Amino acid sequence: MVNADRLSYDGMSNDPNDFLIETWDRRKFITGLGLGASAFLTAGAYAEQLSQTPRQTEGPFYPNKMPLDTDNDLLIITDSTTPAAGEVTHLSGIVRNVKSEPVRNALVEIWQVGAKGAYLHTGDKRHEMRDQSFQGYGRFLTDSKGRYYFRTVKPFPYPGRTPHIHVAVSQKGKRMLTTQCYVKAEKERNAKDGLYKRIGADGQKLVTVPFKKMRGVATGELTARWDIVIGLIPED
């Protein structure tokens, strides 16, 4: 796993290309990731309190057997030279609590299907046809400012579901939030997805993310900025 405290950031602008990441375990690169705000405020007596990111089901396919790597780079497994298929996506953001305080040392986990629409979980009937070069799962500890970062692929659709990334946030060993991240451009698929519709328009704003082309990168990589807000007590 990349050590969060080894990441360096240049500036605090809203330009997606002003958020710089300089180090990895396997390679060095400089790329821009956004620091645009995505928090939504609640009305009433607690006007300064942030709206919590909606909770959603974990689903049946949280990995029952972890991959060889569990770091935050889902595109390369150990020393393989074959990258995962799909559009490379740099997913980043800040984990805060509803008091707007950044959450340090929160464990952020993501899991998703690869290019062939199959989960890492062995119970998925499509498991054997999965992209063997895609890690399928990753985790990252937030740094002192609550920041997290993953290199993954833009989510693919799964039979019966719109493209999405499963996300879980834990603090001190307790699950604080289970949710899902959706692609803003997938309006038609999102509108037909039962789990997406269930959280309503206000909740959808908090989990629907623009996946944008990274400026100045010829390979067409994407950036996705998503800030996550957790509650103050663990999930039941």
Q: By 3-state DSSP, what share of the chain in percent is helix, strand and coil, each rounded to 5?
A: 10, 30, 60
**In the numeric block, which tokens belong to residue 139?**
């985790």
Which one of 1.10.3720.10, 3.20.20.70, 2.60.130.10, 3.40.640.10 gives the CATH number of domain 4-230? Answer: 2.60.130.10
pLDDT of 110 reads 98
Q: How many CB atoms lie within 10 A of CB 59?
A: 16
Ranges of residues in the chain with a pLDDT under 70 are 1-48, 218
Q: Which of 128, 134, 42, 123 is nearest to 88 (CA)?
A: 134
> Model's pTM, two decimal places?
0.80
pLDDT of 82 reads 82
Using DSSP's 3-state secondary structure scheme, residue 141 falls into strand
List the domain boundaries for the chain: 4-230
pLDDT of 171 reads 96
101-128, pLDDT tens digit by residue? 999 999 999 999 999 999 999 999 999 9
- Beta carbons within 8 Å of 129's beta carbon, 6+ residues apart: 116, 118
Cα–Cα distances in angstroms (integers) from residue 19 to residues 36, 195, 203, 230, in the given order: 10, 32, 26, 23
Q: Which of 4, 220, 209 is nearest to 108 (CA)?
A: 4
